[in-house]
Chain A
C-alpha cells in the first residue's frame, strides 16, 4: 500500500508532498492498523480559512473493503476528480463505481453552503466491495486524531518533496 500526503496553500503557497510505501516499512503492521482507524467517510466540509494549509491524504489501494455508499460520500466537494499523481504506478484495481460525483457536485455549486458542516449520510449496507484509493482533503483544523497521527508518522518517515502545482493549464 502507498500513502500519499500533500500540503498546499499557506501564506507562501508552497506545495509539499510525501510518499511512503507502507510495505517497505519495518512496522508495516502498525501503519495498517493506524490507517484502518481513519474515518475516511467522516470528513465534514470545512470552510476555507485564509492562508491555512490544505491537506490531501490518499491511500492506495484502499486499506480495506469499502462500502460503495460510504465511498459516495467520502470525498469532500472539491475533491471528486480523480488525479493520479506522477509518482503513482499502481493501477487502481477496479472502476466498477468510478463516479461517486453526484453528492460532491451538489455541494460544489452553492459556495456558501460549503461553509456549513454537512451531516454525513449513514453508511448503507451494500455487498459490492470497492478497492479504489481512499482519499480525503482536510482543512488544517480538521487534521486531528488518527489523521494527524498518520501525517506525523509520514513526516517522520520521509522527507517532503517540493513540487510544482498539479495540472497547470496547457499554455
Chain B
C-alpha cells in the first residue's frame, strides 16, 4: 500500500535535518525509494477522512503539567501550561513533549482533537509519590511516578508509556472497554497499540523498523531487559534475576486466568498485541496508516460492547479493515492472519 504522505513532503522530510526526528528523514527516504514513480501523482490529494499523516505536522494541544512534589496528592502544583517554555525539570518537560507527540498522532492521523475529540486539556502530574514505580490514568489525568531508581527510572522516560496512558483516556471516551478479564486486556492492548504508534509516528518509523516495545528506557541499566512488554514477541521483553521473566502470553492457549490485576489485563494483552504487530509487519509501511486506522475505526465504531471478548474485537477489526481497505485488500488479509496466528478465532471467509 502506498504511503499517504505526499511525495513532495517525503522529499522535504528526507532532506531535512531536524534533530527532533532523526529517523523520520531516513524513513521518508526509504518510503520514496519504495514508491513507483508512475504512481506518485495519484496519491497526492488526501481523502477528507484521511488527514495528513506527516510526522512533523503540528497540532494544537492544551497541555497542563503539574508537580506532585513527591506526595500522592492530585493534581499537585501546576508548573507548565501550553506554550510556556521548558522548565528544566526533565519529567515535566518529557511529559509535556510526550503529550504533544500523542496529541499530534490522534489529531493529524485520526482527526481526533485530544482525548474527547473536542480539544479537552491534556493534564498530567509528574513526581507522584516517593520512588513510585508506576504510571496511570485516573479518569481525568495522566500520573507518572519517578521510579525507585533501582529497577525503574522515571515513567516519563518512555514515549510509548505516555501514549499508553493518554490512550486510556481515548478508550474511556469511546469504546469504554470494561477493565476486567478479556475486555480489560483489550483496553490494555489498545493503549499499548496507540502507545507504540505514537512512538513510531514521532520517530517516522515504519512497521519493519519499529521495535514494537512498550516502555523502552524505563528500566535502569541494572535490569536484564529491553522494555516492559514486546508487542511482537510477548514474553520476551525481560528476563532478570530480580524481576523474573516477562510473563505475557503470545497465544490463546497460554491465556492466564487469575483474580489479580483485574483478571490479568496487563498479561493477556500480549495476545492481541501480537496480532496487531504481526498484521502491521505483514502490511508494512507506516503502521498508523494501516492497522492504526483499522483499530481506531474499531474503537470508535460504536459496535463494541463494553465487555467485548477477543473474538468480538477481532471480528470488528476485520469488518473495519474491509470497510476501509476493501474485501480483497492486503490489510484485511493481514489482520485476519494476525488473529489466526495468536489463536483468536475469526471468520475464515470475508464478510
Contacts and interface: CB of A to CB of B under 8 A. Distances in A.
Contacts of B191: 50
Interface residues on A, range: 20 to 34
B338 interface: no
Interface string B234-262: 00000000111001100001111111111
B226 interface: no
B264 interface: yes
Contacts of A54: 260-262
Given A49-B136, A51-B168, A111-B180, A12 B259 contact: no
Contacts of A58: none
Given A11-B266, A111-B180, A162 B242 contact: yes
Given A54-B261, A165-B261, 11 more contacts: A11-B134, A12-B152, A13-B261, A15-B261, A49-B138, A50-B187, A51-B137, A83-B259, A167-B258, A167-B259, A168-B254
B135 A166 contact: no
Max count, chain A CB within 10 A of own CB: residue among B152, B179, B258, B261: B261
A165 B258 contact: yes
Contacts of A171: 253-254
A111 B306 CA distance: 9
A166 B260 contact: yes
Instruction: Give the top 6 A-B pairs by smallest Cβ distance, nearest first.
Output: A13-B266, A8-B260, A51-B136, A48-B179, A9-B261, A8-B261
A6 B258 CA distance: 13
Contacts of B172: 50
Contacts of B138: 49, 52
Interface of B: 133-139, 152, 155, 161, 164-165, 168, 172, 178-180, 184, 187, 191, 215, 228-229, 242-244, 247-248, 253-267, 306-307
* Max chain B C-beta neighbours (<10 A), residue from A11, A49, A169: A11
B115 to A, nearest CB: 13
Contacts of A169: 254-257
A11 B257 contact: no
Contacts of A40: none
Given A51-B137, A111-B306, A11 B215 contact: yes
A24 B310 CA distance: 47
Nearest to A6: B260
Contact of B136 (A52, A111, A137): A52
Contacts of A13: 228-229, 247-248, 261, 265-267
A54 B261 CA distance: 6
Contacts of A147: none
A164 interface: yes
Interface of A: 6, 8-15, 48-54, 56, 78-79, 81, 83, 111-112, 137, 162-169, 171
Contacts of B261: 8-9, 13, 15, 54, 165
B168 A50 contact: yes
Nearest to B139: A49
B260 A15 contact: yes
Residue of B180, B253, B266 contacting most chain A CB atoms (<10 Å): B266
Contacts of A78: 180, 259, 262-263
A167 B257 contact: yes
Contacts of B228: 11-13
B180 A162 contact: no
B79 to A, nearest CB: 23
Given A11-B155, A50-B136, A111-B306, A168 B180 contact: no
B256 A168 contact: yes
Contacts of A165: 247, 256, 258, 260-261, 264, 267
Contact of B259 (A10, A49, A111, A166): A166
A50 B106 CA distance: 20
Nearest to B183: A111
Contacts of B306: 111-112
A146 B275 CA distance: 44
A163 B243 CA distance: 9
12 contacts: A12-B133, A12-B152, A13-B228, A15-B260, A48-B184, A48-B262, A54-B261, A78-B180, A78-B259, A79-B259, A164-B247, A168-B256
